[in-house]
Structure 1
């Protein structure tokens, strides 16, 4: 499995060839190869900042798309230093030679047999990378050339290594996906779920009295809670929220009364197998900024009741072997990890103009989207049509800081459910995307982009791509 890649801050043009992830006791090791396809020696960098590039760090990431976890590299100096493994800081890559590269990560669950590797390059994601038991010590299997050596094209060599025996620390993070509909929004990780119900749907205005529509909504939420919530990990927490109108004292009271009402309704449907807890937060935890251009929409989003609980755990092995037919029968969204796949043909394209008065144009070429475990992967190219040398190497497509492509979303055209970018940690700023949106800036060149969103139900065969400044692109096929 190999892809051509460009990396940030003039990090170079490379061919990345993934081999495997290996278990080695207290750590895991990603093993892959880098080849310089050019005609001259080149220095490589795979950092996501100037500092990361300067020190030759390899900011790759491992993703378990079924267990919904992300693993970040081990850093030496007990987590405060550089990435553990190959050191690309000084050595040049000579054309045509295959440079064996290793990068250490925290240990992985025994049930994993395939993972996705996220690279901070235009190559993006490598799905279906095998996970195997490591053999022998953690080190490259090829020799490292000297600084003055010139490995021949086709030869296999290795970079120097660092930090293999020093105290090191890496990260294991829950991945959170967000879906939003007219009635509810859902934030889900592999271990917990939070369902936000629109208060305007549940309650009469300024009251804790349920509307006629509320029964159907709460029936559905109760069924989902029964299917997903783990009674052994209480409580089912019900939290009321209001908008910013009214006094803090009144809002706390109203939000608590609404939470109590929902608690009673869930308890009547679910019984005593679960322990429940209700609280009111008033306007203290808004999810949207009020007094902005969409003030009323923001207030509507902030008026909500949230139901959160710990999810019953299934092993990744069980999840990955679930058949497509069984998934569709359940109406589920999670499937097996995706195999490695090249990008498909362009299925749609849109152009947009950027830059005040300059008239810089770019075109987005959309590829078929595909499923990877619990997620949908949106794939596209962004081509600079000129006349200037933008987009810049640090430019992104997010007006809210929500990842490189934070203004991009996916919509199920039937239910109008919106799927937003998957992020690391409930409040995390890191998203499952390339890190930076553009690496090549010359007119006529393009950069591959991608981002992960929660997968829609298996019955959804096409979606609408909301591509920010490029507009809405309907009927994008889902493979």
Structure 2
């Protein structure tokens, strides 16, 4: 799968270093998502206005030359007006680099952990360069060891009721609990001093390196991407994409072969589905779409008829339970929209997953708390945003695969999501290209979309009910087609003896769940990973 163009541009954001004897350079930042609208005032104005000391984390940055350097990222502030949001960030290299280096780590993103909206830096659609701090030499930022780069990034406006965001990028994992401050105007730009230094005259350690500023104009293109998440069970699965929720009832559980009449056990499942709709649907938009699907076996006409009849059966029972306050649209799609690829070694499992009846509706993504009774796979569990953590905590488990050690840290509940952080350490004397796409990485018949990315083979499993939670994905519209990118740090060559922090986001379980099993792809199954609130 090709990566979305916007991601390629953003990856270059902190790119390269033109470095001789320690000086370096890094490149600039850089499409169709609607700007969020927000009519709600800040409910806790004091919370949004409180200042804070810089939020600081250390990490290791992947670079293309293999000189993967230790860095320090310090967030000074995140400010917003009605027009933009601005992140003030200090970026310090703790190791010396030589030559020209391109950054390979993930770009700087902001996530609202309650709604799942992900904000990407504003870019100029013509030049595809980002707004904010301007590179000083041929599109690169000079980097000097232990001299903080004072960077400013522009983002779309964050809704007024949001008080805290989560920052990801540059290999720092997830910096949760970043407070949003309301301002009338952004800070005056620093006086640029970057051209005062060069390889022969580097800044003394601790000197702040400042840049010229490019402020966004009306041509700036905001990009706000919704996370798409997936929760699976033996009877149903739930996909959430922004404010849209789709629940798929597995037909092998609800119908006999070639039948469109519900089994006795299936009627109870559909009744639970009606409770899910009542609990989760946006009361201002009580419309439900019911769609039947089949696998690819059989003729198109037969499959179309069967898919329509099954959808009508589910619709009729939902309508009986929910009453006249809801409207229903029904259609059959036969085998047109598979969620798993048939024809492989796991054909039976993939075909079974494709046989399903889906119902979809709009939800209120800003609502906090837990949804009521209904299907376990469709329970939406929302806590407050997590507080900031300078460290990931104590290692709770370790496994080894192909000379790479995996260390697992406690899970962190952050709004409607679980932050999963692991570190990977190369235990050899040579670089390792870690292959995490083995046969054990993805369950048989698993959905293709949610197996993308470095940690796409990872899942979180609830030990008491076997609910499986997959890595949330960023969904982009690229020339009218959906493309996905894992919301996790991509892993490149692991340098000898070095450790790397890797983060992924999963949909959160209910509040009473205090530990989960981590299916860590080729590293195997790790039980009893605790959740911190």
Cα distance in 2 for partners of 1:97, 1:42 equals 18
Aligned counterparts, 1:20-59, within 5 A: 20-38=77-95, 46=103, 59=107
* Equivalent position to 1:437, from 491, 495, 498: 491
- Gap change, CA 1:100 and 1:414, over 3 Å in 2: same
Which of 393, 414, 417 aligns to 2:467? It is: 417
Cα distance change of structure 1 residues 382 and 286 upon mapping to structure 2, 3 Å threshold:
same
Q: For residues 272-293 of structure 1, what are the alpha-carbon distances to aligned partners after superposition, in whole Å with 9 as ceiling and x for unaligned?
A: 1010011100111111111111
- CA gap of 1:174–1:372, structure 2 versus 1, over 3 A, is same
SS in structure 2 opposite 1:151?
A: coil
Alignment of structure 1 residues 243-322 onto 2, 5 Å: 243-312=295-364, 314=366, 319=368
Q: Distance in 1 between matches of 2:97 and 2:274?
A: 63
Q: 1:337 aligns with which of 380, 385, 393?
A: 385
- Which residue of the partner structure matches residue 385 of structure 1? 427
1:460 to partner: Cα distance: 1.1
**1:126-171 deviation line (CA, Å, top 9, x unaligned):** 1111111235446534643324363332333323333544732120
Residue of structure 2 aligned with 1:207, choices 251, 259, 280: 259
Q: Per-residue deviation at 1:59?
A: 2.7
- Rate the CA distance shift 1:166–1:237 in 2: closer, same or farther, 3 A: closer
CA-atom RMSD, angstroms?
Answer: 2.4
1:67 to 76, 95, 115: 115
Q: After TM superposition, give the deviation of residue 344 of structure 1 in Å.
A: 1.1
Render the CA deviation track for 1:378-417: whole Å, top value 9, x for unaligned.
111111122531126xx76577661221111111111101
Alignment partner, residue 376 of structure 1: 418
1:11-58 deviations in Å (ceiling 9; x for gaps): 74321011222113321111111122235789775565xxxxxxxxx9
Q: How many residues align?
A: 445
**Where does the alignment leave 5 or more consecutive residues of structure 1 unmatched?**
49-57, 324-330, 354-360
Per-residue displacement from partner, 1:182-227 (whole Å, max 9, x unpaired)?
0001001341110000111111221011111112211211111011
Q: TM-score, normalised by structure 2?
A: 0.78
Counterpart CA distance in 2 for 1:41 and 1:33 is 21
| Secondary structure of 1:263 counterpart | helix
Aligned residue in 1 for 2:455: 405
| SS of the residue 1:425 aligns to | strand
Q: CA deviation at 1:474?
A: 0.8
CA gap of 1:7–1:140, structure 2 versus 1, over 3 A, is farther
| Partner SS, residue 158 of structure 1 | coil
Do 1:142 and 1:156's aligned partners in 2 also have CA atoms closer than 8 Å?
A: no
How far off is 1:349 after superposition?
1.0
Is the Cα contact below 8 Å between 2:114 and 2:365 reproduced in 1? no
Q: Does 1:365 align with 2:407?
A: yes
Task: Return the alpha-carbon distance in structure 2 between the equivalents of residues 274 and 466 of structure 1.
Answer: 39
Contact in 2 for aligned 1:101/1:140 (Cα 8 Å)? no
Distance change >3 Å, CA 197–CA 139, structure 1 → 2:
farther
- In structure 2, C-alpha distance between the alignment counterparts of 1:41 and 1:141, rounded to whole Å: 27
SS in 2 for 1:195: strand
1:126 matches 2:183 = no
Determine if contact 2:123/2:220 at 8 Å carries over to the other structure. Answer: yes
| CA deviation vs aligned residue, 1:437-459 (integer Å, no higher than 9, x gap) | 146x3322111111001011111
1:86 counterpart = 2:133:
yes
Of 49, 56, 62, the residue aligned with 1:2 is 56
Q: 2:508 matched to which residue of 1?
A: 455
- The question of whether the paired residues in 1 share the 8 Å contact of 2:230 and 2:470 is answered with yes
For 1:358, the equivalent position in structure 2 comes to none
Instruction: Tell me the alpha carbon deviations over residues 334-360 of structure 1, each in whole angstroms, 9 at most, x when there is no partner.
Output: 11111111111111111112xxxxxxx
Is the deviation greater in 21-30 or in 411-420? 21-30
Structure 2 match to 1:53: none
Q: Give me the whole-angstrom Cα distance separating, in 2, the residues matched to 1:344 and 1:467.
A: 19
Instruction: Pick from 220, 224, 239 the counterpart of residue 272 of structure 2.
Output: 220
Say if 2:173 and 2:421, in contact at 8 Å, map to a contact too: no
Distance 1:39 1:61 in 2: 26
Task: Tell me which moved more, 382-391 or 232-241.
Answer: 382-391
- The whole-number CA distance in structure 1 between the counterparts of 2:230 and 2:333 is 21
Residues 133-172 of structure 1: pairs in structure 2 closer than 5 A: 133-134=182-183, 136-137=185-186, 140-141=189-190, 143-148=192-197, 150-162=202-214, 164-165=216-217, 167-172=219-224
* 1:159–1:108 distance in 2 versus 1, CA, 3 Å: same
Q: 1:379 and 1:275 mapped to 2: Cα distance?
A: 42
**Residues 79, 86 of structure 2: 8 Å contact kept:** yes
Once the two structures are superposed, what CA deviation does each residue of 1:41-84 show, in whole Å capped at 9, x if it has no partner?
A: 89775565xxxxxxxxx931110010110111111145x51111
Say whether the 8 Å CA contact 2:286–2:325 is kept in structure 1: no
* Equivalent in the alignment of 1:469: 522
TM-score between the two structures when normalised by the length of structure 1: 0.87
Classify 1:242/1:187 alpha carbon distance in 2 versus 1 (closer, same or farther; 3 Å): same
